[in-house]
Structure 1
Amino acid sequence: MLKSVSNRRRFITLAAPALGAILLAGCKVIPKAPIDTPPPPEQGPTSSLPTDSARHRVALLVPLAGPNGGVGQSIANAATMALLDTNAQNLRITTYDTSAGVASVTAQAVADGNRLILGPLLSDDIPAVAATARAARVPVISFSNDEGAAGRDVFIMGSVPSASIARTVEFAKSRGVNRYAALVPSGEYGERASAALFASVRAAGGSVAATESYDRSNTSVVSAARRLKTKGGYDAVLIADGGRFASQAAAQLKTAGAASPRLLGTDLWSGETVVATTPSLRGAWFASVSDARFRQFSASYKTRFGAQPYRIATLGYDAVLLTLRIARDWRTGSPFPMTRLTDAGGFIGLDGAFRFRPSGVVERALEVREVQAAGVVPVSPAPARFGE
């Protein structure tokens, strides 16, 4: 059952028959909402966590109110699903509402005896969480995609743009693309996307012929695309932004049906309807986690909670699977075995294989998709596990 113990924290103690287990600027921009909004958190009387010695205590830090409350609730619901689907009996996951004050709820999570923190969602919240957690030797696995926030005891689980760009460039190189250009938004995200492109192209033995930056406005991206088109000297152009800006830039860079230049994107394109319906983007490639298991997850989620999940909700599910995997060799009441997070073999979740590098940044097995007239389809599957 799911109980509410306060407006700041809730614990989940679940037992059920096994059902079968299967962003710009560091997640400061939250993915678009689904058609339906997940239900609000339950409210109930104040209570303290029960005393037990058979379960590992794990804190889930997400916003349950405010502008990102729907996303946080969706992640919390997904964590509940993972516990139900695996019939987990050895975890007590307590959800803490970061919208009530991230510093205070982190202090409460540590005081409650949690040995691992899953969250927070936003990169801006990571310093406050890490400061308290580090003093208590409690590692943090954040749902952010901000690579710069990673550290020796702070792990970044959100899909990072550099990985998507590297996978796309690797695939493009295998198809004969050697000269690249880029359109990147101004700011931290654009700087990281540009750096990732240069590093990936250099590793592939190619060259970057030109780059243009723009403010995130319709007129700015169109002007930047026109400037880039006049430069020439490239076979492919990376548009490091979401579907709306990519579609506007694409119309300036190539004529619908033209073979060149090849347009490249990032995982920000995943699930964007405008990508599939923009003629100038046909033939474009981008890398993302596979959606193969998400469809089944989404159907099960809607049956349980009466709404569609946010795409990022799978991070909550997979974080629980990761914890359960490590819990096999984790003695109850002892510190979380943090070194297990960087096991070379990694973990398997709804979004496929993933593991953490020693830097704390996630590495994911990604598929490459192509925008075609009939829709967006995989053209290079994600490896089932690392080493393949």
Structure 2
Amino acid sequence: MGQIAQRSLIRAFNNTFITACRRLMSFLVIIILLVSGCQPEHRQSQSLSGQLPIRVSPRLETTDLAKIQQNREKKAQQDSINSRNTDYKEQLYLFNNISKNPRTDIQSSDRANNTKGQFVDKVLDNNKDSKIGILLPLSGNGKEDGRAFLDAMQLAFFEVANENLELLIADTRGSPAGAVESVQKLIAEDVGLILGPLFSGSTDAIAPLARAAQIPVISFSNNKKVARTGVFVFGFLPEQQIIRILKYAFKKEYRKVAAFAPANAFGELSLSVARGITGEMDQKLVREILYDLNTQDLNQLVREFSEYDNRKQRLKRQKTQLNKQSDDISNDALTRLSGLDTLGDPPFDAVLLPSGGGELLTVAPLLAFYDVDPSRIRLLGSSLWDRVNGLSLEPSLMGAWYAAPEPELRLLYEAKFEKIFGYSPPRLSSLAYDAMLLGVELASEDREWDGGLATITDPSGFQGVDGIVRLLNDGSNERGLAILEVGRGGVKVIDDAPSTFFNDN
């Protein structure tokens, strides 16, 4: 590739305001991002040896709140005027120098005619507008999360972006068909990067179109099955979480690990990964159960899983034996056993519980009820626990460990989000915040840009509120995760997340 394509050619444009729906929130202007073409082969990964990731951390302490509030008010006024004349069911809303009737016949586009979906070298065009496209469900299924993700992106923009970036927002309507329709419009507008969609089905549906147009996609899905070259999944991958928590447990001398997982895609994947990592560590799962809350009696499953009846019988036999003796030692032993329901621990010293939400708050107390004592048996979880309300209020989870990003920066982000937008953001909205930070970083004039995927898959990675992350050549991602412990005062980090990537991707 020529030297012209070795650096980002960022051209200044007038401020461009874009709207995405009838909300009286500020869905603002934004940006120019050149991710115009991508190489068929990635540059050779360099040895990292503790190389620091590129810092895209939010300037959470210095955000210009007055500026954000002022723009929200201006945008609300603009929405009020445009609502009289605009069809808000249109999937792409554009103002100023962008066409209000974006092309839908993408077959006439040179990029659309690349049916092989290969990312090829090309010289960046200094005279061509460049944009970031956003694909989110702003109506239909998932609209609440979609709107929160959009607010998170706006917040990230005001933390780090400049005024020469343009954001094009498209509504997927929460369906693969809606995503396909919307991505066609983004392609016709010649965006350089797409952030979204939210769901794996929509990601899979748009992937052929985006690849044919040579536009990289950073989806918020955590399903590796929809990842491929040029289509990246940015969600928290279950595999990494299970590997991280189990390796830490083995390091802390837990050797008899059992798994109690939901009978769904997440649970089955977690169980498969658990089998693999225990095998690599010359261990094995001593017990495993996949449960279905809709069809199975969870009480009976937990009772059998914990060997409650066998241990209860063991206690009964021990008491009977002691009662036959009349010495003081036996009497003291009987006194100690009087407060027990069972004798001895279950056949495991740790239990993997990858489920979250209401399921976790159902299963964990049942384990305690059937005498799986959390003071002796360690419960192990995934980042789904981050989304459990009242996690530290559940006695059966005290002392439990789970793998997730370190919470410090995310909590600052969430506080800033709530202060500005007036509601608490959903846990996963931080993905949208970090994705926008990443998009802005890729557009930075200070960053070496080679016009291809090698920049996006920089092996040193990026850092945001959810810690370090790097996008891999196969479309998956790698994150630095911490180990958190649940306590009565909340969760605390007991094993730090890595601050660098030490191996090539």
Give the TM-score category using the shorter length. Answer: 0.7 to 0.9
Counterpart of 1:222? 299
Counterpart of 2:42? none
Q: Deviations along 1:103-154, whole A, 9 cap, x unmatched?
A: 1101001001112111000111112211211111112110011122111121
Which shows bigger deviation, 105-114 or 152-161?
Answer: 152-161
CA gap of 1:125–1:13, structure 2 versus 1, over 3 A, is same
Counterpart of 2:215? 138
* 1:324-335 alignment, distance < 5 Å: 324-328=440-444
**Is 1:50 aligned with 2:97?**
yes
Q: TM-score, normalised by structure 2?
A: 0.66
CA gap of 1:269–1:2, structure 2 versus 1, over 3 A, is farther
CA gap of 1:21–1:203, structure 2 versus 1, over 3 A, is farther
Q: CA deviation at 1:215?
A: 1.0
CA distance in 2, matches of 1:86, 1:127: 30
Q: CA deviation at 1:88?
A: 2.2
Q: 1:306 aligns with which of 404, 416, 422?
A: 422
CA distance in 1, matches of 2:258, 2:141: 36
Counterpart of 1:250? 364
3-state secondary structure, aligned to 1:208: coil
Tell me, yes or no, if the aligned pair for 1:257 and 1:282 is still in contact at 8 Å. Answer: no
* 1:210-289 alignment, distance < 5 Å: 210-217=287-294, 220-230=297-307, 232-254=346-368, 255=371, 258-289=374-405
Q: RMSD between aligned alpha carbons?
A: 3.1
Q: 5+ unaligned residues in a row in structure 2: which ranges? A: 1-14, 32-56, 61-75, 87-92, 99-125, 309-345
* 1:57-206 alignment, distance < 5 Å: 57-99=131-173, 101-206=178-283
CA distance in 1, matches of 2:467, 2:217: 21
Counterpart of 1:350? 465
**Is 1:374 aligned with 2:489?**
yes
CA gap of 1:6–1:369, structure 2 versus 1, over 3 A, is closer
Tell me, yes or no, if the aligned pair for 2:58 and 2:156 is still in contact at 8 Å. Answer: no
CA distance in 1, matches of 2:387, 2:200: 23
Q: CA deviation at 1:244?
A: 2.2
Q: 5+ unaligned residues in a row in structure 1: which ranges? A: 23-38
Counterpart of 1:21? 59
CA gap of 1:6–1:62, structure 2 versus 1, over 3 A, is closer
Q: Which has the higher contact order (CA 8 A, sep 6+)?
A: 2
3-state secondary structure, aligned to 2:498: coil
* Count, aligned residues: 366
Q: Deviations along 1:168-196, whole A, 9 cap, x unmatched?
A: 11111111012211111112222111112
Which shows bigger deviation, 213-222 or 182-191?
Answer: 213-222
Q: Which has the higher strand share?
A: 1
CA distance in 2, matches of 1:54, 1:112: 11
CA distance in 2, matches of 1:251, 1:218: 20
Q: TM-score, normalised by structure 1?
A: 0.84
Tell me, yes or no, if the aligned pair for 2:94 and 2:168 is still in contact at 8 Å. Answer: no
CA distance in 2, matches of 1:218, 1:292: 40
Q: Deviations along 1:17-64, whole A, 9 cap, x unmatched?
A: xx9636xxxxxxxxxxxxxxxx9x957336467269586311110011
CA distance in 2, matches of 1:263, 1:226: 16
CA gap of 1:184–1:6, structure 2 versus 1, over 3 A, is closer
Tell me, yes or no, if the aligned pair for 1:138 and 1:335 is still in contact at 8 Å. Answer: no
Counterpart of 1:29? none
CA distance in 2, matches of 1:208, 1:353: 30
Paired letter, 1:216: L
Counterpart of 2:455? 340
Paired letter, 1:378: V
Identity of aligned residues (%): 28
CA gap of 1:364–1:6, structure 2 versus 1, over 3 A, is closer
CA distance in 1, matches of 2:241, 2:380: 10
Paired letter, 1:201: T
Q: CA deviation at 1:257?
A: 5.3
Larger Rg: 2
Q: CA deviation at 1:222?
A: 3.2
Q: CA deviation at 1:265?
A: 1.0
